[in-house]
Structure 1
Amino acid sequence: MSSAVWYFSRATGLVSLVLFTSVVVLGALGAGRFATRGWPRFTVAAVHRNLALTSLAFLAVHIASAVLDGYVPLGWFDVVVPFGAGYRPLWVGLGAVAVDLLLAIVVTSLVRTRIPARAWRAVHWLAYLCWPIALVHGFGMAENDSAYGWIVALDALCVLAVAAVAAYRAAHARKFAALGGTR
């Protein structure tokens, strides 16, 4: 049974990475005012929001299965308090840092209408820090997975997707500024 839960935890971690990568990509596109005839801005925003909620569900299952597995000594405290775990404290700690950053993003998003837009935006920028920390957490926790080329390829595709959208945003910001716009 424990082996099945361990594999389930790994699988939900990988799915979470793909989903959160999609959330970051859509968030960056939406903030960059990306739109097409088939994907108007409200559609990009709606898909971003729904993917974020789906990502949170997969992350919750990933965390719960890792804690409940029992193969390694992980507790609920280790999920939110960085670098105190008895098992791979650096890598589990990075996961806890990512969870803490994500919690800040979620909480401020839930109260978005009650806080200044500038405060919400400042906290929401943590997504750009949360994602690479979660990615590095996955790299560190999956040191034995490097034998599986498809996992390395999946990680590389996620990195390329975020790098591409970052390049798009940088180019878009320069173009917007050249036209005299402000943000």
Structure 2
Amino acid sequence: MSEALWAVGRASGVVLLVLMTATLLLGVLTRSGRRVLLPRFGVALLHRNVALLSVVFLAVHVLTMVLDSSAKLSLIDLVVPFRTAANPFWYGLGTVALDLAVAVTVTALLRHRIGVRAFKAVHWTAYLLWPMALLHALGSGSDAKAVLITGGLCGLAVAAAVVWRISDRFVEHRSARQAALR
């Protein structure tokens, strides 16, 4: 049983990294308002659904890691970072990413109740969440080759999106709409 938990835990972690990367990329694309195969509302809906699927894989990953005796994780390790018996730094990064993912998910679900300003303030932490998750995967992943290749490809995709996001060529949908009205 422990071998099955190990396999599901690692596989769900790799899939989770890919889903989190896709969520981040779709979030950047949503802010741009550009039409890429889908209208803006379609990209926003896809972003939300991929994010929710990420939450499912996050739950599977965390649950299998807690149940896997080789991971040596307690429930408190899921909340308090850097205190695990094995690999405290790398698992701690995963705990920080988990805490941030919970905050981003809860605020996204409560967006209409907490207001746009609070939602955006917490949602921007996704730019911190993602590298924490990537470093966690690279440092604690036991299938180094698969994690390195997947992490490298995800890293390149996010780096390109961030460079585009901060470049002069990135125009947010609100700015584009206002310019068209002038």
Partner of 2:31: 31
Partner of 2:8: 8
Q: Give matches, 1:58-69, under 5 Å.
A: 58-69=57-68
CA distance in 2, matches of 1:62, 1:135: 14
Give deviations 1:1-58, integer Å, cap 9, x for gaps: 211211110000000000000000000110122224x311000001000000101101
Question: CA RMSD of the aligned region, Å?
Answer: 2.1
Going from structure 1 to structure 2, the CA distance change for 1:116 and 1:173 (only over 3 Å counts) comes to farther
Normalised to the residue count of structure 2, the TM-score between the two structures is 0.89
| C-alpha contact (below 8 Å) 1:79/1:96 kept by paired residues | yes
Q: How far off is 1:120 after superposition?
A: 0.8
Q: Give matches, 1:21-170, under 5 Å.
A: 21-36=21-36, 38-142=37-141, 144-146=142-144, 148=145, 150-170=146-166
Letter in 2 for 1:126: T
Q: How far off is 1:173 after superposition?
A: 6.0
Q: How far off is 1:175 after superposition?
A: 5.5
Higher relative contact order (CA 8 A, sep 6+): 2
CA distance in 2, matches of 1:14, 1:161: 15
CA distance in 1, matches of 2:4, 2:129: 28
Q: How far off is 1:171 after superposition?
A: 2.5
Letter in 2 for 1:7: A
| C-alpha contact (below 8 Å) 1:32/1:172 kept by paired residues | no
| C-alpha contact (below 8 Å) 1:24/1:162 kept by paired residues | yes
| C-alpha contact (below 8 Å) 1:101/1:127 kept by paired residues | yes
Give the number of equivalent residue pairs. 177
CA distance in 2, matches of 1:174, 1:115: 28
Give deviations 1:83-116, integer Å, cap 9, x for gaps: 1111111111111100111111111111111122
| C-alpha contact (below 8 Å) 1:15/1:58 kept by paired residues | yes
CA distance in 2, matches of 1:97, 1:108: 17
CA distance in 2, matches of 1:50, 1:66: 24
| C-alpha contact (below 8 Å) 1:105/1:123 kept by paired residues | yes
Letter in 1 for 2:143: D
CA distance in 2, matches of 1:174, 1:78: 40
CA distance in 2, matches of 1:17, 1:160: 13
Q: Identical aligned pairs, as a percentage?
A: 46
